[in-house]
């Protein structure tokens, strides 16, 4: 039985079919190509320039009318305009391609890419009118066969099939770009938004088309990919809305013929349905084949693109090597172009300058790195020579030697390290130059002092001015009059950047003798000024309390002579014993380091009085550095590569030098090159106010007469009575007019 509508006998054509959108017109045009091909005859195929029928010009009766000359009224000279020059159109290189015979042109076009052939259909009207005809089918077929594309199905024209497969990545509905998924069942390339708006699921058919019979869906191709799913199939079926309207429009004449009792109308409807069912089956069965081709084509395209880029890269490398560039520089070259097209002479001319610039930069970097490697290798040799030179000296002279890194910057050694001539500089050359180190040391020392002074500048005097009533210029004048170097001021706090926690240092002698334990990371300017002003906050509160004069405490390093002890009142106590507080004790140097590493806020420093200071010093360890690796032998260079603890050095002296009782500093001493940690100065207990007397909790005393309780109650002793009260309770509560002591009530 033919499918019928629910309300109307004749299926109406929806208005949406007639109102085609802009991008749907291109689809209709593609569909019209097949109609043009079907409308051509066999005789038209022999025509060189196509078979498109043109409207014949109207025949005129008699000769054409004579032309009349334009007449100008008034002043001719005033109204006349200069004649326009004829515009010369620029002819392209392929402008004469239309002069070729049609069979030759078709042979040429059969060798182009599908994308280029589609572009030619938009080049001009002549090419379009010929490529869209049935006579150009051989061109499209040869292009499809050459690129391995699937043959054109019978329901689509060859240009439309080429547009579907190779027509770019724009949506056929809304022209959105970057749409790579092709739905072969619907013969469309659709974006996600268009799929959401125009696809109808089977279960939603009645909602969108309440007047149509659901049986018409069997006559339509469907897809398994919905609008909310990308590139994955499911068991659901989705139909294109416009296809529903189109099939309803096609069924209309057949249904109308049945209703009008036209002969063979039902047979024609059955034949139409059978043809549509076969058509739908052919489309659904061919979709896996097309998807498999697309997957293989994408993989092949990727491989061809990779091979093309590799060939282009090899060609660029070959040309750069031919110009004399080094293979090492070219191998590390970053090719800015990701094109996979073959390199032509014109393309090479466009990219050559930029590539050569990159190669030259890479060459400069490589040469600089190679030179640095050579300098580092010679520096290792120099270090071994310097170590051998130290072995020839007395250990007490080691601290007077310049830092190895500063020694490398000396002119004579810097020249030797940078020398690339043959024969190469060796260890004997460095040892020979080290014999003159005594002549180089004063210059290196003066250069180091100048560098440090330039970093210090006027900051110490500004700190002094902030802690005293003096100005910065007055503090500088006092320093100059006293003959004190600014580096020897107590407020000039320097720290080595390669140590953490940072250990402050004072005075140029300590700075010069400091030899960093990580010399490969120590630059000549690694000793920098500690600019934190907390040192003066301590001095402002403590030095004055100690009774020291500014000229002594701040300008001359007499803080060690004072040897005062300090506590930080706002520092959390280590322990508590009642109201007594236990505070750590500091020397002035350790206080500076503690404040610098912990970044305490401004607090209250208190200097200990004489009795408190003596009590703390008695508890201090008098030999705090015996277990630290800072000791060396004064008789040999055994510990030139590293110092040891005192017990180890004493054992060495006893066994190697035969001295049973080593004496400090004659036989062993602490090397000035080591940054020693500050010892523990103990703690100070500050007694607080006496604790308040303890609160005595008064015991609850019950009335002496309430000493009886009821034994009949669940909680007998919860309530106490006098003797008469317990009897009244038993009588009223427990209904015992006569109660016996020991049985019903008792005394607590």
DSSP secondary structure letters along 149-200: PPPPPTTS-HHHHHHHHHS-S--TTT--S----EETTTTEE--HHHHHHHEE
d(CA 539, CA 591): 10
The C-alpha atoms of residue 684 and residue 585 are separated, in whole angstroms, by 6
Percent of the chain with pLDDT over 90: 28
pLDDT the model gives residue 683: 79
Tokens coding 723:
């003797």
Residue 6 is predicted with a pLDDT of 37
pLDDT (0 to 100) of residue 9 = 32
DSSP reduced 3-state for 452: helix
Across 562-590, average pLDDT:
72
Report which of residues 31 and 693 the model is more confident about.
693
Q: Report CA-CA distances (Å) from 425 to 51, 379, 407, 415, 439.
A: 90, 10, 17, 10, 21
C-alpha to C-alpha distance for 616 and 608, rounded to whole angstroms? 9
> d(Cα 135, Cα 106) in Å, to the nearest integer?
10
Mean pLDDT lowest for which of 38-47, 282-291, 294-303, 717-726? 38-47
CB-based contact 506:493 (threshold 8 Å): yes
Instruction: Report pLDDT digits (tens) over 416-427.
Output: 998 888 888 888
Tell whether the model's pLDDT for residue 616 goes beyond 70: yes
Which region among 62-71, 322-331, 686-695 has the lowest average model confidence (pLDDT)?
Answer: 62-71
- Relative to beta strand 182-183, strand 238-240 is unpaired
Bridge partners of 685, per DSSP, are: 582
Pick the closest to residue 409 from 367, 451, 373, 370 (CA basis): 451
- Please, which residues bridge with residue 188 across strands? 183
Identify the H or E element spanning 496.
strand 494-496
Determine the pLDDT at residue 242: 93
Match 């006579």 to its residue by tokens. Answer: 135
Question: Taking the CB of residue 508, how many other CB atoms lie within 10 A of it?
Answer: 19
CB 151 within 8 A of CB 133: no
Looking at the DSSP assignment, which residues form a beta bridge with residue 709? Answer: 720, 746
Lowest mean pLDDT among 128-142, 539-553, 594-608, 625-639: 539-553
pLDDT exceeds cutoff 50 at 77: no
Flag the least confident range among 532-546, 552-566, 581-595, 704-718. Answer: 532-546
Spell out the alpha helix ranges (H) of 392-533: 404-408, 411-418, 427-434, 437-456, 459-467, 472-482, 508-513
Please report the pLDDT score of residue 501 as a whole number: 57
**In this predicted structure, which of 251-265, 349-363, 691-705 has the lowest mean pLDDT?**
691-705
Is 655 exposed, middle or buried, given 0-12, 13-18 or 19+ CB atoms closer than 10 A?
Answer: exposed
User: Residue 208's CB: how many other CB atoms inside 10 A?
Assistant: 12
Name the β-bridge partners of 495. Answer: 504, 528
Assign 59 a pLDDT band (cuts: 50, 70, 90).
low
Q: Check residue 353 and give its pLDDT.
A: 93
Per-range mean pLDDT, top range of 69-73, 509-513, 572-576: 509-513
Residue 573 has pLDDT above 50, yes or no: yes
Label residue 352 by pLDDT band (50, 70, 90): very high
- Average pLDDT for residues 282-308, to the nearest whole number? 92
Residue 540's pLDDT is what? 38
Q: In this structure, are strands 720-721 and 708-710 parallel, antiparallel, or unpaired?
A: antiparallel
Average pLDDT, the chain: 76
> Tens digit of pLDDT for each residue in 217-271?
999 999 988 887 655 566 789 999 999 999 999 999 999 999 998 999 999 999 9
Q: Which residues contact 52 (CB under 8 A, 6 or more apart)?
A: 36, 129, 133
Q: What is the mean pLDDT of residues 354-372?
A: 92
- pLDDT score, position 62: 59
With a CB cutoff of 8 Å and minimum separation 6, the contacts of 228 are 196
The larger pLDDT score, comparing residue 527 to residue 365, is at: 365
Question: Are 331 and 318 within 8 A, CB to CB?
Answer: no
pLDDT value of residue 277: 94
pLDDT the model gives residue 568 = 76
Residue 616 has phi, psi (to 5 degrees) of: -70, -40
Q: For residue range 297-319, what is the model confidence (pLDDT) as tens digits?
A: 999 989 999 999 999 999 999 99
């Amino acid at each position: 039985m033919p499918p019928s509508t629910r309300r109307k006998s004749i299926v109406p054509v929806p208005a949406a079919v007639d109102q085609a959108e802009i991008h749907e017109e291109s689809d209709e045009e593609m569909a019209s190509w097949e109609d043009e091909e079907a409308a051509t005859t066999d005789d038209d195929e022999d025509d060189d320039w196509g078979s498109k029928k043109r409207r014949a010009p109207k025949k005129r009766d008699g000769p054409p009318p004579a032309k009349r000359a334009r007449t100008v009224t008034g002043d001719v000279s005033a109204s006349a305009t200069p004649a326009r020059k004829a515009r010369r159109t620029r002819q392209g290189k392929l402008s004469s391609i239309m002069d070729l015979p049609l069979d030759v042109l078709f042979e040429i076009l059969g060798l182009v890419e599908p994308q280029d052939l589609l572009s030619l259909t938009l080049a001009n009207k002549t090419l379009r009118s010929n490529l869209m005809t049935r006579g150009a089918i051989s061109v499209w077929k040869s292009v499809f066969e050459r690129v391995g594309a699937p043959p054109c199905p019978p329901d689509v024209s060859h240009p439309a099939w080429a547009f579907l497969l190779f027509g770019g990545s724009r949506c056929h509905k809304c022209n959105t770009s970057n749409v790579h998924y092709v739905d072969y069942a619907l013969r469309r390339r659709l974006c996600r938004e268009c799929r959401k708006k125009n696809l109808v699921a089977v279960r939603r058919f009645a909602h969108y088309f309440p007047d149509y019979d659901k049986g018409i869906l069997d006559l339509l191709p469907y897809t398994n990919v919905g609008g909310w799913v990308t590139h994955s199939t499911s068991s659901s079926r989705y139909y294109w809305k416009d296809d529903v309207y189109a099939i309803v429009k096609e069924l209309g004449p057949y249904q109308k013929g049945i209703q009008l009792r036209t002969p063979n109308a039902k047979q024609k409807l059955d034949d139409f349905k059978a043809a549509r069912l076969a058509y739908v089956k052919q489309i659904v069965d061919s979709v896996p084949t097309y998807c498999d081709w697309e997957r293989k084509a994408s993989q092949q395209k990727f491989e061809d693109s990779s091979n093309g880029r590799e060939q282009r890269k090899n060609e660029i490398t070959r040309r750069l090597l031919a110009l004399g560039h080094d293979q090492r520089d070219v191998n590390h070259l970053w090719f800015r172009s990701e094109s996979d097209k073959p390199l032509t002479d014109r393309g090479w001319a466009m990219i050559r300058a930029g590539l050569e610039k990159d190669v030259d930069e890479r060459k400069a970097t490589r040469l600089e790195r190679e030179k640095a490697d050579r300098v580092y290798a010679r520096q290792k040799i120099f270090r071994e020579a310097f170590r051998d030179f130290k072995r020839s000296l007395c250990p007490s002279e080691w601290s007077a030697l310049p830092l190895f890194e500063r020694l490398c910057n000396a002119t004579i050694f810097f020249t030797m390290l940078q020398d690339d001539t043959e024969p190469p500089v060796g260890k004997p050359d460095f040892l020979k130059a080290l014999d003159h180190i005594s002549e180089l040391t004063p210059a290196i020392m003066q250069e180091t002092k100048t560098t440090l002074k330039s970093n210090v500048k006027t900051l110490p005097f500004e700190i002094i001015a902030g802690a005293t009533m003096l100005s910065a210029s007055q503090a500088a004048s006092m320093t100059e009059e006293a003959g004190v170097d600014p580096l020897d001021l107590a407020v000039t706090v320097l720290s080595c950047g390669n140590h953490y926690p940072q250990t402050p240092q004072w005075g140029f002698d300590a700075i010069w003798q400091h030899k960093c334990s990580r010399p490969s990371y120590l630059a000549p300017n690694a000793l920098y000024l500690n600019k934190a002003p907390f040192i003066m906050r301590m001095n402002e509160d403590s030095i004055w309390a100690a009774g020291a004069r500014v000229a002594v405490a701040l300008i001359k390093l007499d803080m060690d002579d004072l040897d005062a002890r300090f506590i930080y009142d706002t520092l959390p106590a280590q322990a508590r014993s009642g109201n007594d507080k236990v505070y750590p004790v500091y020397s002035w140097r350790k206080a500076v380091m503690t404040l610098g590493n912990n970044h305490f806020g401004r607090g209250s420093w208190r200097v200990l009085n004489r009795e408190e200071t003596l009590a703390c010093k008695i508890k201090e360890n008098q030999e705090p550095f015996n277990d630290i690796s800072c000791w060396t032998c004064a008789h040999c260079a055994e510990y030139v590569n590293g110092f040891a603890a005192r017990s180890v050095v004493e054992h060495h002296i006893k066994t190697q030098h035969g001295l049973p009782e080593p004496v400090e500093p004659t036989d062993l001493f602490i090397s000035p090159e080591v940054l020693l940690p500050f010892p523990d100065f103990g703690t100070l207990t500050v007694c607080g106010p006496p604790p308040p007397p303890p609160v005595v909790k008064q015991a609850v005393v019950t009335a002496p007469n309430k000493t009886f309780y009821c034994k009949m109650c669940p909680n007998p002793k919860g309530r106490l009575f006098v003797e008469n009260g317990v009897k009244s309770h038993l009588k009223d509560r427990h209904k015992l007019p006569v109660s016996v002591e020991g049985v019903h009530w008792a005394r607590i």
